[in-house]
Structure 1
Amino acid sequence: MTMRRGRWWAAGLLVTGVWTSTPSVWAQGAPGKAATPDKGAAAAPATPTPTPAPSPADADKESARLFEDAKKAHKAFQWDKARDAALAAFKLKPDPAYGLILGQSELQTGKPRDAAEHLELFVREAKSATAIEKQTAQKLLDDAKLKLGTLIIKVNVEGADVSIDGKAVGRSPLVAPLFVDPGSHEVEVKKFGFDPGKELLAVAPATESEMEFALAALPAEPETKQPEPPKKEEPKPPPLPSPKWRTYGMIGGAGLTVIGLGLGVGLTMMANGKSDEADQQLALLRQTTPTTSGLCGAGGFAPNAAGCAKLKDTLSSQDAYTNGAMVGYVIGGVAAIGTLGLFLLPRTPFGRKMMGVNVVPVVGGGQTGGMVVGSF
């Protein structure tokens, strides 16, 4: 205990000596004792409550003002006021140069872990600090570390989130050591796409532990295909009618077409033969009939009566053959159209409206032919 107290007084004398020689270093009282200002010293002004800065320039100005208050309280050994003012200034502007007064005030008010963090920041990043200030901060940091455990955490990948006891403390790589209170602590490191690492560590005061985490990359997950929506099955149409009647109809129509056309052609040839025969009979009658008499009829030449009767029969036969040929052609044409209609008729299921073609022959009344009637 004697040696420990002597070291504290030595540090206090060092800081006091620097304070009197340069305005950038401040006095330090003996730790563990309530520091009181000289009776003749003026009371330090109360630390004002910081207000949110409307702009970065105003924030810097307010931070500098608060730090001046912290220096005054520090010089008067008012550690609570010095810590509050320095911490408020640091929150507005995290300047590493604030770390010496802030860390010493925290150490004097029983916050060694906070003190170690700010003193380590001062030693590492305070560019404008003098060698004496750095030496003083290092001694105070060593005293704080006697009450704490120091962790140095290394991770094999960058950007991994590091947490201690569920509280985030930074991302890898960590440039500064971490300070924890003595006891058991759970350190967890995780990053998306990697298997997380977790370790439970018992920390003793004034010890330094180095932890290394090697995170293994997780295998790439296969792409999951979205299930296709079930296909809506359309109702199956009723079965098509049997095609036999179509086949039979087309066969019958084709046969009737051949018969009709054959009958028409045959009767046409016979009608032509009768026409030639009638021409010959008429020529014979003209040769035997005087020019002053008619050929046939009531005023005709009497000897021509038998020839005229024969000519009349020939002409009647010609007309009969001609009419028969016309009927044959009509029958063949109607059959051909019907056969073609059956061939082109779509196979529509029963129970639905069907397209149809009907051919109706027309004979008589001075007309001979066919009429096509259909529904579409």
Structure 2
Amino acid sequence: MNKHVLLCSLGLSIALLAPASRAQTSAETPGAAEAEALTDKARQLYDEGLAALDQSRWVEAHASFLAAWRIERHYQIASNLGVAELRLGKYRDAAEHLSWYLREAPATRVTQRQRAEVLLKEALAKVAAITVKTEPEGAEVTVDGAEMGRTPLALPVFLEPGQHMIQVELDGYKPAQERIEPKAGDVVGMKLYLMRRDAEAPAAAGAPGTTGPRAASEPGPAGTTGPRAASAPGPAKLPETTVVQPAERSWVPMIALGAASVVGLGVGVGVTVAENDASAETSAQRTAIWNAGGGCIDAPAEHVRACAKLRDGEARVDAFSNAARIAYVTSGLLLAGALTYWLWPTEPAGSASRVQLVPNLGAHGAGVIAQGAW
């Protein structure tokens, strides 16, 4: 039988995700007796699992669904298997099978997919999801000795909290491994770099070979070595795993930004003092004109000069006020830039990403421009 015809005819719907349908079909594929026997067995096991699931007999349901899954991998079997595993506290297995369901189930099953996402979220809170990549791709991934497949993996590797050993192998390359200790709820991405066993070995996965001769002790790309004389000593043993280490942080930008922030604050304080002095002088001039019985609106001839001086003083007060405001804002932005640089995670060594904070001062305001390359 065709896989989808068979399983749809079996009513392989998600228990707890959708009502179960038990419709049967009479469609047959001639000349496939062995396949017919297997699919009949999968149908029987699936029906037994549904019956146990309906009565909350989780252990029996899990056993039946798991046996059916080993015969026929279908998204509806995966969903019910994941439900049973979740109820039994098998969170790692539940996360794997519910993720498989969400990857394979049709997009038209909107309600069922939404319910599966809720259950998957419950499982993921108890386990860690590790996305494993390799350079080059095509490496066999094993976790604690169990085979997970070849990179790129279709799904993350789900692990119980605690220590685990992840190893990758590819013909023509040295094995690489990494020991990790994730916590529940962690979502981790890791990339393992494989090194060629021999510079003369064929590029088994399309990796570029070495170019040009090298000294015996000179490492080539990804740890390869060029041709060497027969009497030359072999290269020192290289580590099996190349892990990209964060680049060492330079404190010069933070110190420079912090110092500039202090200078900006000092300028702001100085300008504020000058503003206060100018304001006091202007206030005294205004009082003197008022006491003399004059005013600066349609000022009489004897007060024209005094009013002009008063207007100059008021203009200076406004200028000092704007300058102080710009200085304080600039100081705050520079301090924010210093703190951002301090708290920003470091990039791996050799990364092309660069971020630069540049103060932007103008007559009508101030700011900081972030310039970067990714």
TM-score in same-fold range (> 0.5) = no
TM-score bin (small chain) = 0.3 to 0.5
Q: If the length of structure 1 is used for normalisation, what is the TM-score?
A: 0.44
